[in-house]
Amino acid sequence: MSDEVPQSEAAENPSHLEAARREKLRRVQELGHDPWGQRFDDQLPIGSVLKLQEQVYYENEAGEKTPLPEDREAYIAWRNENRRVELHGPKVRAAGRIVLERTKGKLIFLDIMDWTGKVQIFVGRKQVGEENWALAECMQLGDIVGVDGEFKLTNTGEPTIFAEKLHFLSKSLETPPDKYHGIHDPEIRQRRRYLDLIHTDGVMERFLRRSKIVQSIRQTLASESFVEVEGPTLHSIAGGAAARPFTTHHNALDMDLFLRIALELHLKRLLVGGIERVYELGRVYRNEGISPKHNPEFTMLEAYQAYGDYRSMMDLTEKIIVNALEATGQPLKVQYGEHEIDFTPPFERKTYDELFLEHTGVDPKDEAAVAKLAAEIGFDIKGRHPDVIKSDVFEEKVEDALEGPIFVMDYPASICPLTKRSQTEPEIAERFELFVKGMELANAYTELNDPDLQEQLFKTQLEGMSAEDSMAKMDNDFVTALRNAMPPAGGLGIGIDRLVMLLTNATSIREVILFPLLRHEA
RNA sequence: GAGGAUGUAGCUCAGUCGGUAGAGCAACGGACUUUUAAUCCGUAGGUCCAGGGUUCGAGUCCCUGCAUCCUCACCA
Mean pLDDT over residues A129-145, rounded? 96
> Which nucleotides of strand B lie under 7 Å from a protein CB?
1, 7, 10-13, 24-28, 31-39, 44-45, 49, 65-76
Q: What pLDDT score was predicted for residue A54? A: 92
| Interatomic distance A166 CA / B34 C1' (Å) | 19
**Å separating the CA of residue A17 from the C1' of nucleotide B29:** 15
What's the CATH number of domain A7-182, 2.130.10.10, 3.20.20.100, 3.40.50.300, 2.40.50.140? 2.40.50.140
Measure A514 CA to B67 C1' (Å).
Answer: 19
Give dist(CA A83, CA A217) in Å, integer: 54
Rounded to a whole number of angstroms, the distance between the first and last alpha carbons of chain A is 37
Closest CA to A99 of A203, A187, A200: A200
ipTM of the complex: 0.91
The average pLDDT across A352-367 equals 88
| Arithmetic mean of pLDDT, A458-476 | 69
pLDDT value, residue A303 = 97
**pLDDT at residue A402 greater than cutoff 60:** yes
Is the pLDDT assigned to residue A11 strictly greater than 70? no
Distance, Å, A100 CA → B37 C1' = 9
Nearest-CA residue to the C1' of B44? A16
Q: Among residues A91, A94, A89, A95, which one has the least CA distance to residue A53? A: A89
Confirm if A482 and A272 have CB atoms less than 8 A apart. Answer: yes
DSSP state of A76: H
For residue A9, pLDDT over 80 is answered with no
CA dihedral A365, A367, A370, A375 (to 10 degrees): 170
- Predicted pLDDT at A243: 87
Mean pLDDT computed over A216-225: 97
**Whether the Cβ atoms of residue A249 and residue A255 lie closer than 8 Å to each other:** yes
Please give the pLDDT value at position A508.
94
Nucleotide nearest to A20 (CA to C1'): B27
Closest nucleotide to A17, Cα to C1': B27
The gap between A290 CA and B75 C1' (Å) is 9
Segment A221-247, tens digit of pLDDT: 999 999 999 999 999 988 888 888 999
pLDDT of residue A462: 59
Nucleotide nearest A162 (Cα, C1'): B34
Give yes or no for residue A506 having a pLDDT over 70: yes
| A507 nearest nt, CA–C1' | B70
CA of A445 to C1' of B71 (A): 33
Residue A244, nucleotide of least CA–C1' distance: B75
- What whole-number distance in Å separates Cα of residue A189 and Cα of residue A172? 18
Q: Are the C-beta atoms of A167 and A161 separated by less than 8 Å? A: no
Q: What is the mean pLDDT of chain A?
A: 91
Residue A304 pLDDT exceeds 90: yes
**pLDDT band at A187, cuts 50/70/90?**
very high
Q: With 90 as the cut, is the pLDDT of residue A136 above it? A: yes
Amino acid A181 CA to nucleotide B19 C1' distance, rounded Å: 34
Task: Give the pLDDT mean for A467-489.
Answer: 84
pLDDT at A7 over 70: no
Out of 3.30.930.10, 3.40.50.300, 3.30.70.580, 3.30.1360.120, the CATH code matching A203-347+404-511 is: 3.30.930.10
Q: What is the pLDDT of residue A5?
A: 36
Q: How far apart are alpha carbons A445 and A448 in whole angstroms?
A: 8
Q: What is the pLDDT of residue A387?
A: 84
Partners of A280 in the β-ladder: A302
Q: What is the mean pLDDT of residues A351-370?
A: 88
Per-domain residue ranges of chain A: 7-182, 203-347+404-511, 351-398
Supply the pLDDT for residue A366: 85
Strand order, beta sheet including A227-228: A227-228, A277-285, A297-306, A489-495, A439-446, A428-436, A406-412, A348-351
Please determine, for residue A265, whether its predicted confidence score (pLDDT) is greater than 50.
Answer: yes
**Cα–Cα dist A234/A228, whole Å:** 19
Percent of chain A whose pLDDT exceeds 90: 74
Residue A150, pLDDT score: 97
Share of chain A above pLDDT 70, in %: 95
Nucleotide in closest CA–C1' contact with A142: B26
